[in-house]
């Protein structure tokens, strides 16, 4: 009687080593599948990261603290922001002052911010910092330690990042603010009043030109976002006097 041949039911292989052949094929297939899966995961991660970065860059907002807030993508943030118009106002090169070594310290808000010296824009308006985290001092107004109104503007921020004065509304009467010069000398002020104003009712003379004492005034955005004008509908002013 003829001896039964050892035939593989899957491939018809008569070789007695057919089991080893299938094992080798299976072992080769697993690494290939894992590699393909990893490639798909990497591509998906890059795609998601690209979508996130695009959405983030296109929607960040810089807010000018006194009169207007302009929606500006991050890539265009080198342009200066106007304080008194609904358009971007370019700052003359002579007014683009470098960041000083002075700092503003507000213990209650955990703020220790660099101060930039800013002047006027081409339209004769107060310029503002190009950074969300720096404070802008209007150097053509009152000077710390002297009679007059020292005006410091800070950004409120946008939907993704908070500006330096985002929590300025927490300041109350009696809270202290310190202006520290680069030589270490410090001048302290005490908050005595704060108020919010509609844009059309900003008391500019009270904010900028009060000179019967030594004042320091903080300005930032406040209220509700107005899509039609691309700005908040109010401004918050915190008034402090030297002690």
- Look at 13-17, 36-40, 110-114, 168-172 and tell me which has the smallest mean pLDDT: 13-17
- Please report the beta strands in 141-230, taking only residues with DSSP state E, as ranges in sequence order: 148-153, 176-180, 186-198, 214-226
Dihedral of the alpha carbons of 226, 62, 144, 99, in degrees to the nearest 10: -170
Domain of 207, CATH number, reads: 2.40.260.10
Judgement on whether residues 85 and 143 belong to the same structural domain of the protein: yes
**Residue 121 confidence class, pLDDT cut points 50, 70, 90:** confident
* Structural domains of the chain, count: 2
CB atoms within 10 A of CB 181: 15
* Helix, coil or strand: residue 25: helix
Q: Which residues form the domain of 161?
A: 61-242
CB 215 within 8 A of CB 238: no
Token reading at 70: 């302009």
Judgement on whether residues 213 and 129 belong to the same structural domain of the protein: yes
**Residue 104 confidence class, pLDDT cut points 50, 70, 90:** very high
Q: Is residue 7 part of a domain?
A: no
Q: What is the arithmetic mean of pLDDT over 155-160?
A: 83
- Per-residue pLDDT of 187-220, as tens digits, reads 999 999 999 999 888 999 999 999 999 999 999 9
| pTM (global) more than 0.85 | no
Judgement on whether residues 20 and 66 belong to the same structural domain of the protein: no
Give the helix/strand (H/E) hosting 104: strand 99-106
């Amino acid at each position: 009687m003829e001896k039964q041949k050892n035939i593989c039911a899957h491939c018809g292989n008569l070789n007695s080593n057919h089991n080893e052949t299938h094992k080798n094929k299976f072992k080769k297939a697993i690494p290939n599948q894992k590699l393909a899966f990893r490639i798909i995961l990497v591509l998906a991660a890059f795609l998601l990261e690209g979508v996130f970065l695009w959405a983030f860059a296109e929607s960040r907002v810089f807010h000018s603290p006194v009169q207007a807030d302009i929606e500006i993508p991050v890539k265009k943030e080198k342009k200066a922001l106007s304080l008194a118009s609904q358009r971007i106002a370019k700052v003359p090169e002579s007014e683009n002052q470098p960041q000083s070594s002075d700092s503003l310290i507000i213990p209650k808000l955990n703020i220790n911010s660099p101060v930039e010296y800013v002047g006027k824009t081409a339209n004769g308006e107060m310029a503002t910092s190009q950074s969300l985290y720096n404070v802008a001092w209007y150097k053509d107004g009152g000077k710390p330690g002297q009679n007059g109104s020292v005006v410091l503007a800070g950004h409120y921020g946008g939907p993704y990042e908070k500006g330096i004065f985002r929590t300025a509304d927490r300041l109350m009467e009696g809270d202290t603010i310190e202006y520290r010069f680069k030589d270490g000398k410090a001048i302290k002020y005490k908050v005595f009043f704060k108020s919010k104003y509609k844009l059309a009712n900003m008391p500019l003379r009270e904010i900028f030109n009060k000179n019967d004492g030594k004042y320091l005034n903080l300005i930032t955005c406040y209220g509700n976002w107005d899509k039609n004008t691309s700005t908040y509908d109010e401004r918050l002013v915190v008034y402090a006097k030297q002690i």
